[in-house]
Amino acid sequence: MAELNTDSKSRTLFCHDATAPQREEVFADSRNIRITPEFEPFFQPDDMFSRGFWDRGFANKLTMRFFRSFVKPKERERDEEGFTQQDFALRNGPWVVTEMFAEMHKARDRRDGFTDDFTPHLPPKVEPADMGTPQEAARRIKKVAKLYGSDLVGITAYDPRWTYRSKFSARSLSSKPVELPEGLTGVIVLGKAMDYDVIRMSPTATASTGPASGYAEDATTLLGLAQYIRSLGYLAVATQNDTNLAIPYAIQAGLGEYGRNGLCITRDYGPRIRFGRILTNMPLAFDRPVAFGVEETCRICRRCANNCPPQAIDHGNPSTYRFNRSNIRGVKKWTTDGEKCFKFWVSRGTDCANCVRTCPYNKDYNRLWPKIMRRLLATPLRRLALMIDDRLRLHDQIKPSSWWHSENGRYDVLERARDHPFDADLKAQQDRVKEIRDNRNKPAD
Ligand code: SF4
Ligand code: SF4
């Protein structure tokens, strides 16, 4: 076998291979996602975190205080349930890992894990090891990924459509090219679940410890697995929030289905999971997309949309509508308004996970009801299952102070979640669409 090129100096642009389809194309066997001829790969400077640095509408003192608060817990501390010094200190603990990687190569205009893939620690060049058949190689990779800390692992084909058109440069506050080695064929998607009880406190600083720990643990797993693959003589590019979009790869790799909240809903953790990706040229068997009723459930359930504080989640049907420049162009799907979401985060001084907390798939599946519920949600009885689930109120926000003090896993409720009013909500929406159409058809005076 020919020697593979693992020399980072010879990296070349690779994202321009992405092409829009001639006609609308179903993505990953999904009824709810279509790629249209207007498709364009995403431009990272347009994501809300980048816009927080360069876009005059968002780059302001409050946003800077929001960013700073992840290293300075006193910045947004206040006398409010879930926002005390204790809560911010808890959230910021695991963030130190992610921050360290982001700062490590700052002098070279690299923010590993945010805008750039993790800088590789290259082992001596070796001949690619014999991994057996692609099925055997995939089995080994999954075993090692789990050993290194992954909760879910899926493998799919490299798809240049999900590579950013350009990355964001924090130094120049503009774009910079995406550089990837040639010859990538596969993507290993690693899922790290977030703590169930912690996410139940969203939207507070205490709850944000869930994503903070997820990022930190994900980083160590990604680095370890990438190094394992390089030591076997293959390419491995470890990516987190950088370089490419996580959700399409997670769906393509069979880890879950696309939900109204814009997230990948997994069978074992619902949307309460983070995804890292390793791009590689190791010959691996690919997984198939899965379906367990999420698409059908999302069409009648709007719990995430009802419980989104700034109302950033679409109540309607999948479409190519873009709320603003932070939405990808030419993909028919459920879309969220990132501007509204980000403004809410900044105003509160921490991130939010209400669309994760309130999702009926966000459950502790070690218990009996969640297992029954998941089965029912895959059948025409899903409406009944959702009604029962509403009654059980597992999706209410719990009080951070009771989480700190509870020793038996029982918590006080801070706020009751808004249930999905099913048809009433749909009816209101249909009435509004009818009203708009009627007005449009009215003859001019
Ligand atoms: S994170 Fe919070 S604000 Fe953003 S879309 Fe989800 S529920 Fe809405
Ligand atoms: S809360 Fe309901 S509508 Fe939203 S993603 Fe979960 S199942 Fe779908």
Q: What is the pLDDT of residue 434?
A: 53
Instruction: Indicate if ligand 2 lies below 6 Å from the C-beta of 297.
Output: yes
Q: At what angle do helices 209-231 and 85-104 cross, to 10 degrees?
A: 30
**Sign (positive or negative) of CA dihedral 368, 371, 374, 380:** negative
Strands 186-193 and 179-180: what pairing? Answer: unpaired
Q: What is the pLDDT of residue 438?
A: 59
pLDDT in tens, the chain (445 residues): 223 333 334 344 444 467 788 888 889 888 789 999 999 999 999 999 999 999 999 999 999 999 999 988 788 889 999 999 999 999 999 999 999 999 999 999 999 999 999 998 877 788 999 999 999 999 999 999 999 999 999 999 999 999 999 999 999 999 999 999 999 999 999 999 999 999 999 999 999 999 999 999 999 999 999 999 999 999 999 999 999 999 999 999 999 999 999 999 999 999 999 999 999 999 999 999 999 999 999 999 999 999 999 999 988 899 999 999 999 999 999 999 999 999 999 999 999 999 999 999 999 999 999 999 999 999 999 999 999 999 999 999 999 999 999 988 899 999 999 886 655 455 555 555 455 445 545 554 4
The 3-state DSSP class for residue 152 equals strand
CA-nearest residue, atom 6 of ligand 2: 359
What phi-psi label fits residue 349: left (phi over 0), alpha (psi between -120 and 50 degrees) or beta?
Answer: left
Is the Cβ–Cβ distance between 257 and 294 less than 8 Å? yes
Please choose, from the candidates 296, 297, 295, 286, the residue with its C-alpha nearest in 3D space to the C-alpha of residue 252: 286
Q: What angle do CA 331, 332, 337 make, to 5 degrees?
A: 85
Backbone φ and ψ of 36, nearest 5°:
-105, 170
Please choose, from the candidates 39, 38, 60, 40, the residue with its C-alpha nearest in 3D space to the C-alpha of residue 51: 60
Backbone φ and ψ of 169, nearest 5°:
-100, 115
Mutate to test the pocket of ligand 1, among 324, 341, 342 (most ligand atoms within 8 A of CB): 341
Mutate to test the pocket of ligand 2, among 273, 297, 307, 376 (most ligand atoms within 8 A of CB): 297
Q: How far is ligand 1, taken at its centre, from the CA of residue 357, in Å?
A: 10
d(CA 54, CA 47) in angstroms, rounded, equals 11
d(CA 45, CA 171) in angstroms, rounded, equals 12
- Cis peptide bond prior to 318, omega within 30° of 0: no
Domain boundaries, the chain: 19-348, 357-441
Token couple for 441: 């058809």
Nearest ligand 1 atom to the CA of 311 is: 8
Q: What is the pLDDT of residue 125?
A: 80
Token couple for 82: 């879930």
Q: What is the pLDDT of residue 68?
A: 93
Q: What is the pLDDT of residue 166?
A: 95
Ligand 1 pocket (Cβ < 6 Å) reads 308-310, 312-313, 336, 341, 344, 352-355
d(CA 422, CA 420) in angstroms, rounded, equals 5
The secondary structure element, H or E, covering residue 332 is: strand 329-332
What residues form DSSP beta bridges with 415?
397
User: pTM for the whole thing?
Assistant: 0.91
For residue 252, give Cα distances in angstroms to 153, 159, 186, 188: 12, 10, 11, 11
